[in-house]
Amino acid sequence: MDSGEGAVRGVFTCELCELSSPYTFYGQKPPNTRGIVLLEECYGMRDPFSPEKEKFLVLGSKCCLCNKIVCVGTECSLFYTKRFCLPCVREHLHQFPEQIQTELAKKKPTQKS
């Protein structure tokens, strides 16, 4: 059975900031779009503020290291060839390019060391 356009499939919840929102698709191809393939499997929903069917919002995705579900907010994750949650980025910071290290240094640490 077709799940239908814009049908809510569940609720996405970020495991770090607890942001939650219903999502209407999970995967690399948002429905009602042609030729759009996302760089990662992610949770998304049709943009409720846009009349265009092809507009969609990416809510979040899974960290490729720890599999935590995280939102795309810059406080929670970053995308560098794959999705990483910030705690994992900090743990493996030396493996990321200098630009990302500098970006992260500007942010407040999420935990005391």
Residues found near Zn ion in the complex (CB under 5 A): 14, 16-17, 19, 63, 65-66, 71, 73, 76, 85, 88
Tell me whether residue 29 or residue 82 sits nearer to Zn ion (CB atom).
Answer: 82
Of the pair 78, 88, the CB lying nearest Zn ion is at 88
Nearest-approach distance from CB 69 to Zn ion, in angstroms: 9
Closest separation in Å from C-beta 4 to Zn ion: 28
C-beta closer to Zn ion: residue 6 or 73? 73
Q: How far is the CB of 59 from Zn ion (least distance, A)?
A: 9
63-88 in b/e form (b: 16+ CB < 10 A) is beeeebbbbbeeebbbeeeebbbbbb
For residue 3, give Cα distances in angstroms to 6, 11, 113.
8, 15, 46
Whole-Å CA distances, 64 to 6, 69, 78, 86: 27, 10, 11, 12
CB closer to Zn ion out of 14 and 42: 14
